[in-house]
Amino acid sequence: MSEKTILACLLVLAISVTLSNAACFLQPLKPGMSDGKIIKGCLDSNGELHEFGSSWRSADCNDCSCSRDAIRCCSSFVTPVDYDKEKCVSIFNKETCTYEVVEKDDHSKECPVRGWVG
């Protein structure tokens, strides 16, 4: 293999690791009951029942799934970290679960972002 091929492979690997670096957490199973006897699924932190095997997006923009062991949630968004913080501000939109980085003095002008985490 040539050096260029190896470097290209390393670059692809580095990018894919960065993109898959979501913040995740597990909640131990709080069984959701029906008639007090049959476990039907998971109860989330709001007390809402989700069937085993189901997936949903929470109000705080986490993508969650219910298994027989736990609720697994991962952030559905990335956070801007490398931008001009003196000139620009990041604004989170809870409806779209995305950040927008704009100029502090003129929110119609987007700012370049050089790095994201999430």
Residue 12 lies in a domain: no
Rounded to whole angstroms, the Cα distance separating 100 from 112 reads 10
Give residue 91's domain range. 79-117
Domains contained in the chain, number: 2
CATH number at 62 reads: 2.10.70.10
Greater confidence (86 vs 34) lies with: 86
Its sign, for the CA torsion 11, 15, 16, 21, is: positive
Same structural domain for residues 27 and 60? yes
Residues 47-84: tens digit of each pLDDT = 899 999 999 999 999 999 999 989 999 999 999 999 99
* Conformation bin of residue 97: beta by default, left when phi > 0, alpha when psi is -120 to 50: left
Confidence band of 8 (pLDDT split at 50, 70, 90): very low
Residue 9 above 60 pLDDT?
A: no
Question: Is 92 part of a structural domain of the chain?
Answer: yes
- In a domain, residue 53? The reply is yes
Same domain, 44 and 88: no
CA angle 55, 116, 57 (to 5 degrees): 15
What confidence tens digit (pLDDT) does each residue in 13-42 have? Answer: 344 333 445 689 998 887 766 566 677 889
